[in-house]
Amino acid sequence: MHDGSCTAPSPPRRRWKRGVVIGLLALGPILLFYAWAIEPYWIEVTRHDVGEGPRDVVILHLTDLHFSEPGSRERRVLEILAETKPDLIVITGDSILRDYNQAAFTEFLSQLHATLGIYACLGNWEDWVGPSVTECYRRAGVRLLDESTEIVDDRGIEMIGLSSPRSSPPAAKGRFRIALCHYPIVFPDAAKKGVDLLFAGHTHGGQVRLPFIGALHTPYASGPYEAGWYQEGAARMYVSRGVGTSIFGLRFLCRPEVAVVRVRYGRAP
């Protein structure tokens, strides 16, 4: 007859449970160290080849640098630049933090070189910090597109800078149109207005991602976009995970990124 007493787990079972608990307790600090000290500085170079046409241009996309003082991330960006030798560099906002060193940031920008120039748009951190960033861009020879457009040399490319989540490009056709906007949420409207390719940032890819779940959080004006390629009709958008971090300096399963995109465009004669 059952007397209501409980049989204690066998010693091997107790040892297994204890091992699991100890393993989890040990793994937590290890993962935290990795997310704080390793992954945020382990920049991934992603390479992409898109479009069709007889002409091509190689674009290096930087976003969310969150520059404060020069360090290992900035040195790695310059190494990638030297290896890639792009035709264009595009910078899509949030280039600085509130306490950034203006002279050092200008010097860093001055070391960026591309055959057809460097183009930038503003992000929310530039809005918070104020006009000093614009002056750094000017001194370094970066073309800041603030709700403006510019024709790139004789390549048949029109660059468009959009500065807010409510920005909308002018409708136009004829050239290959590349838009820069910090906020990916503008993509559907930009596609309707005839933009061929949009570069965006802002999301950091979520900065912390979990398997089978994805990004735990993306900021306002991200819309349904986290990272990578998106398409609306004939228009494409690339959302980069960015180089730096903000708010908290962690990355997990979401390495910082410099994207290199070879774009084929134009019509065959």
More confident residue, 153 or 34: 34
What local confidence, expressed as pLDDT, does residue 121 receive?
A: 98
pLDDT in tens, 64-75: 999 999 999 999
pLDDT in tens, 82-139: 999 999 999 999 999 999 999 999 999 999 999 999 999 999 999 999 999 999 999 9
- pLDDT interval class at 16 (50, 70, 90): low
What percentage of the chain reaches a pLDDT higher than 90? 81
Phi then psi for residue 63, to 5 deg, are: -155, 160
Phi then psi for residue 9, to 5 deg, are: -55, 145
- pLDDT interval class at 12 (50, 70, 90): low
Q: Are 149 and 159 in contact (CB under 8 A)?
A: yes
* Whole-number Å distance between alpha carbons of 192 and 168: 10
The pLDDT of 11-39, averaged and rounded, is: 74
